[in-house]
Each structure stands twice: as structure tokens, then as C-alpha cells.
Structure 1
Amino acid sequence: METKLKGIINMTSTEYKNLSVKEFTKAAEIYESDQAGIYNMCKKDYPDILAELEKEPFNDLLDCGCGTAPMLTLLHEKYPDKHYTGIDLTPKMIEVAKAKKMENVELVVGDCEKLPFAENSFDAVICSESFHHYPNPQDFFNSVYRVLRQNGRFILRDVTVEPSVKRWLFNHIGVKLVNLTGKGDVRIYGRDDIKKLCDNAGLHLELFEKRASYRLHAVIRKNKA
């Protein structure tokens, strides 16, 4: 047990990602079912993301950490004429998503820290309950900046806790206990963390709110040059 704990404390980026792939390979078949267990909590994010997207028009949208594409399914039903792209690190998640055979939806196995898309490809980027699995958060924000069009929006939803001391305890103790159960969580974030990531990437944090169910809701913009 002691050896395993030491290994968890000193995990590399690759090891975190491998844990996440292992976790979500198991979860893929049940992810949108009534037997989804803890993953059912993700459904609480969908209404707020939809409401945010309604505020401005968009044509091309990227869902980072799309899983089996539940959010893209809702968007496709509501705006069938738009073009959607989903990316996820876990091949099984993408396999299940592709089985839906949605038109105008491209699904890609890939790393959100190195988005494999051309510059200025998307009007909107969304990321829901995936970001806390990314071991290199600045790489992700930099990549989002690159693929967003000028004035494009990045809508981020993830777990958070306040005050900061509770967040520190979770990130330094709680997350390691979670890793011992086979989950690839890395850390959770507060407003100052997200603001710093935005500033370093050249993005503008327009809105940061702590909402119900321990959620952060952030709207981030790539400003016009």
C-alpha cells in the first residue's frame, strides 16, 4: 500500500492520462445509462452550457473531453444545421459516440492538451467535467486559444470547492485518494487559477461563477485583435 501511494504521489502526465483512459474505457458502455453512477452528475452541466450557447450565434463548435457525446447529442437535436467536433482521449468513448451516427458531427480520438485542429477553426469550445483530468492545464488553454476564432467563446464547466483551503486539501490529499481507486483526476481550480491560465494563453475571462453542485462556470473569450 505504501509503495502504491508513493507511486500515486509521483505520477507523470502519461500515467495520469493512462489512468483516465482505463477509467473511461470501463465507463463508456454505461456512461449515458441509468447505471452510470457517479457520472450521472455530469448531466447537471448540460442546461447551463446550452443556456450560455443560446446567447450568441455559432457555426462550428468543439467539445473537449466529449466522452460518448451526450452534450453534442443535445446540441445536434437543437441546432442540427451546425457543425460539431468532439475529441476524447479514450478510444472506447469515441467508438460509442460514433455509433450514434449523427450528421455534421466529427469525432476524434486525441489529446485536448494538443488539439489536432487548424488555427481559428471554431466559434465555440466547450469543456464539461473533463478539465480536472488534464495534467498540463496551460497546454490545454494555449491550445484552445489557437483553435478559437477571434471573438470566439470557451465555456468551461468543472468541479470546484470554496474556500481555497478546502480546495488545497482536496488537491493535495483528496485527489490522491481518488487516484488510488483508479481514477485519473489531477486537480480542481478556483477563479484565480483560471484567470492565470487565461492571462498566460492570451484569453480573457469574462465570467467566473461558483454555481450549484460545486460547479465552476466560466466564460472565456478570444478577443478581437
Structure 2
Amino acid sequence: MRLGSLIPNFSAQTTKGPIQFYDWQGESWVVLFSHPSDFTPVCTTELGRMAVHKEHFCKRNVKLLAHSVDDLQSHVDWVNDIKSYCLDIVGDFPYPIIADSKRELAVALDMIDEEQKDDPEIAKTVRALYVIDPKHRLRLAMVYPMSTGRNVDEILRVIDSLQLTDKNPYIATPANWTPGEKVMILPHVEDNLVDKVFPKGIDRVGMPSGKNYVRTTTNY
């Protein structure tokens, strides 16, 4: 799916009951993430770490929603394994897992491997992760191969960036940025406007080209 695409208002069965996506999402952001199969080692660590970090997502007004093409009972049994493996999950498993045994949602959301998408017997979901804003728009997508697990800190970092730049349309976050560090002022913002928007000052970085496009600030 392209960035900015409207996520459809799908219905799904989950480990926490049936959902209608828009109603379930409400005014929250959503991290929707898919997995190739239940009872797989890398996926087990991923769902466990997402569960442990749930409060960090809650603080950012983000709901978690997992997806796999296995059936509901398989998901329930897998959740018990995940909780047994990740002992720092306290209480009930904190977010739903979608059961998509017919792979209809996986196909609709482009979560199926290209070489397998037309073969429902063998098709597996890729390790896709979508950050969806409260207007149901796809804001960020990460797609990992089956061999590589996700980094939860990076997911939180990019959500911080998206939410910050939504509030301040004059800035972007640089490589390796974390909250509190310098941000970049977008090149199209004229200097006279910059001084009004950032009255506490900015830093201008001289470049050999002589072009004045690298401007940073911590006053955001």
C-alpha cells in the first residue's frame, strides 16, 4: 500500500472478539502488524515485546493490532505460549490478534508475498507493519523478511516523529533523531517565517555549495 492510502473499514474476528476497524480504532493511532504464521520463534518474540511495551504505545494514543493467517483457536493457543515465554507480560494479553485464515485481509492490505499471493494453500503474510493515523490513513510502512525481527524502539521513535511533525508542519526529524534532539526546518520555509515560528532561535549550518538549506532547532 502507498503512504497516504485509506485503510478500508474491514471486519475481522480477533482473540478479543469481532471488530469493525473504524469503530475499534476510534480517535487513536494504530500499529497493525502481520506475521507469517503462529508458533514461529521470531514472531513469538515480536508479539511478546509489543505486549511488554503496550503502555508506551498507550501514552502516544496508539492501539496495537496483530494479524496472522492462522485461525482463532491457533491464535489463542499461541498467546499462551507467548505469555509463557515472555514472563514480563502481566495479566491478560493486552491486544487483539486478527484471524485471517482465508487471507482476504492480507491480500487487501498487500501483506502477501508476491510469489505466493495467488496460491492460498501456501501463501504466508510477510512481516509488514503499518502505522495508521486517526483519519485511517497509512502514514508509515515497514516490511521485514521472515528472517529479521522488528525493533520496538524504532516503532516508537517513528510514531514520535509522525506525531511531532503533524503538530509542527515546518519541521522534519533527521537520521537517528529521538525526542528532545534537534529537528530540521524544512527547506521551503522562508527565513522571515522561520524567525516568527521559532522566536527562540535556530542554527544555520554553512555548506560548501553556499545553499542555505540546513537549519536546525531545539525550540519546537
Q: Do both proteins adopt the same fold according to a TM-score greater than 0.5, normalized to the shorter chain?
A: no
Kindly name which structure, 1 or 2, has the bigger radius of gyration based on alpha carbons: 2
Q: TM-score, normalised by structure 1?
A: 0.30
Q: Which has the higher helix share?
A: 1
